[in-house]
Amino acid sequence: MGSIDGATGAEGVHVKKILVALAAAGLSLSGVLAASPAAGAPPGAEHAPPAPAPQWTQCEGLPTGVECTKIEVPLDYRRPKGEKIKIAVSRRKATDTAHYQGVILFNPGGPGGSGLAYPAVMQTRLGPTLAAQYDLIGFDPRGVGSSEPSLSCDPHFADPVRPDYVPANITEELAWAQRSRNYAEACGRIYGDLLKNMTTADAANDMDQIRKALGQEQISYVGYSYGTYLGATYATLFPNRVRRLVLDSIVNPSRVWYEANIDQNHAFEGRAKDFFAWIAQYDSTYHLGTTGDEVEKAFYAARAKLKDTPAEGRVGPDEFDDTYLAGGYLKSRWPLLANALSRYLTAGEAAPLLAAYGTYGDSSGDDNTFAVYSAVECSDASWPRDWPRWHRDMWQSYRAAPFLSWGNAWFNAQCAFWPVRTAHEQRIDGRFVKNALFFQDTKDGATPYEGGVEMHRRFPNSRLVVMDGGGNHGLTGRGNACVDDAWKAYLTDGTLPASRPGPDLHCEPFADPVPPARAAAMNATPTQIDDWVPGER
């Protein structure tokens, strides 16, 4: 696509041309911002003064019985008596006092996801008997949602219609790079030194302040997606404070974060091809082709059409990409997404596509999640600061995995210009954790399978439960008996699957969905959509 895509000759000449173009565009990365090191929160911070007992009130907008409070924590754990920020915490208290098991914290991922609703969500997923034995604790990590301050750098950054993710030439690529640079600079202007204290290690220290405020010697923890990296960081820093640890859909601790995003590109490409092949099975319903290749061509034809004429001036190629990325997280969404694509291409109807975008792809008007995502990932680890490296890697990724590569590049490119550089990359070490239970799908797009294997290796007392070929992101609490029996047994009394070489337990995948019309003809139950997805951007 365009002259950039591997068509410029020798690599040295190619890089030189990019550097010349960067200079002409004012995008030389050296000295682009006055980069200062991230603080890198120290473990423990046991010298921090004890917080007063929290005062709980009914949470606004959440079911009766879910209480909320805010806990003051140090902005900088190296200066525990200095400036404070507030972490929003929610709770549903245990009702089975005879079998009380303490507190269990939940994190939905992101980074940037709000966890305040999780006591209500998890009461249902755990079931009444098990949920009654714990104080169910949700929280908004620092910078998120109801915590103070709540970050936002540019509330209009995601407004439609944005420039095409896939650059047609070097000018378009550098324009997107400039857009990312502007976002990073806005974050630096607004938040300054706060950005030095937005690492995962800082959030893990906040979790320990929550533990103290709740009067607990230990916590149990269930984390999803990015929440697995947060949980693993907490367990590394505070291994003796961990009672039970569940990590579901696991970040690869060896690939944080630049490489992890490239890994995602290839994993989501596989999920996209599975989606196209599934649509082809139901050509009599969707009329988009009888093979996956034919459906894939139809998909990219729709994208090109939307680039020429965005649907209702709102859904262009980027918004289309964001909408269909949702199908890579959960295959139960495939019928709705396939119907929207079919109606747009075969009948010229934009309404189903606009509805799908509103449900799955629209992130305009609320910059908080993206701002926190950026603040955490950009300062957690080292990112390439030379654009030729990004240019080379992203075009290489795109040639093999066009579905996500450039969209993912621009979701992260602000890290090339971030005003904070990491001073310390946290190494995950689970050797001192007494037990843990991990869940991973072999075809997960957002957190590819290798992450579960690597985290299992780093926690030698863990067990790894693998769903073979399901492709879902977030496995526990969705009704798969094999998965949920292991999950609930562990949280009930610490029972773990027997230890075996490799994965310790294999589970059958969730069934593929069936289009509603076909299900009705077969007198079958239509696929129910469970749209709770951890860590979905």
Q: What is the pLDDT of residues 335-372, one digit of tens each?
A: 999 999 999 999 999 999 999 999 999 999 889 999 99
Q: Which helix (H) or strand (E) holds 465?
A: strand 462-467
At 514, list the tokens: 């069936």
- Whole-number pLDDT of residue 28: 47
Burial of 456 (0-12, 13-18, 19+ CB in 10 A): buried
- Whole-number pLDDT of residue 366: 86
The one catalytic residue in 90, 146, 147, 225 is 225
pLDDT at 14 over 80: no
Q: Across 75-156, where does the E strand assignment appear? A: 84-92, 103-107, 135-140
| The total number of residues written for the chain in this structure | 537
- Whole-number pLDDT of residue 32: 38
At 174, list the tokens: 């550098």
pLDDT per residue as tens digits for the range 231-257: 999 999 999 999 999 999 999 999 999
- Predicted confidence band of residue 423 (pLDDT cuts 50, 70, 90): confident
Nearest to 383 by CA among 407, 405, 428, 414: 414
Q: How far is CA 532 from CA 108, 128, 140, 285, 398, in A?
A: 10, 19, 17, 27, 29
pLDDT at 49 over 80: no
Q: Are 249 and 473 in contact (CB under 8 A)?
A: yes
DSSP type of residue 90: E
Q: What is the mean pLDDT of residues 386-406?
A: 98
pLDDT per residue as tens digits for the range 54-65: 999 999 999 999
- Predicted confidence band of residue 31 (pLDDT cuts 50, 70, 90): very low
Q: For this structure, is 444 an active site residue? A: yes
pLDDT at 475 over 50: yes
Q: Which helix (H) or strand (E) holds 80?
A: none
Q: For this structure, is 225 an active site residue? A: yes
- Percentage with pLDDT > 70 across the chain: 87
Q: Which helix (H) or strand (E) holds 406?
A: helix 405-412
The one catalytic residue in 342, 473, 484, 504 is 473
pLDDT at 265 over 50: yes
Q: How far apart are CA 9 and CA 248, in angstroms?
A: 45
pLDDT at 404 over 80: yes
pLDDT at 16 over 60: no
Q: What is the mean pLDDT of residues 276-280?
A: 98
Q: How far apart are CA 13 and CA 536, in angstroms?
A: 39
Task: Please give the order of strands across the beta sheet that includes 135-140.
Answer: 57-58, 67-74, 84-92, 135-140, 103-107, 219-225, 242-250, 436-441, 462-467, 505-507
pLDDT at 1 over 60: no
Give whichever of 43-57, 476-490, 519-533 has the largest mean pLDDT: 476-490
Average pLDDT, the chain: 91
Q: How many Cα atoms sit within 13 Å of 479 on the Cβ side? A: 5
- Whole-number pLDDT of residue 11: 42
More confident residue, 25 or 112: 112
- Pairing state between β 505-507 and 462-467: parallel
pLDDT at 53 over 90: no
- Predicted confidence band of residue 193 (pLDDT cuts 50, 70, 90): confident
- Whole-number pLDDT of residue 34: 40
- Our separate counts of H helices and E strands in the chain read 18, 12
Of the listed ranges 77-91, 114-128, 324-338, 509-523, the least confidently predicted one is 509-523
Q: Which helix (H) or strand (E) holds 308?
A: helix 292-308
- Predicted confidence band of residue 517 (pLDDT cuts 50, 70, 90): confident
- Whole-number pLDDT of residue 525: 58
Of the listed ranges 108-112, 514-518, 529-533, the least confidently predicted one is 529-533
Q: How far apart are CA 265 and CA 457, in angstroms?
A: 24
pLDDT per residue as tens digits for the range 216-226: 999 999 999 99
- Predicted confidence band of residue 422 (pLDDT cuts 50, 70, 90): confident
Sequence-separated (6 or more) residues with CB below 8 Å from residue 325: 268, 360, 361, 404, 407, 537
Phi first, then psi, for residue 26 (nearest 5°) are 75, 30
**Whole-prediction pTM:** 0.92
Q: How far is CA 85 from CA 70, 148, 155, 232, in A?
A: 9, 6, 22, 23
Phi first, then psi, for residue 508 (nearest 5°) are -70, 150
- Whole-number pLDDT of residue 8: 38
Q: What is the mean pLDDT of residues 308-318?
A: 98
Q: How far apart are CA 147 and CA 494, in angstroms?
A: 32
The one catalytic residue in 208, 362, 393, 444 is 444
- Whole-number pLDDT of residue 424: 84
Q: Are 219 and 242 in contact (CB under 8 A)?
A: yes
Q: How far apart are CA 361 and CA 364, in angstroms?
A: 9
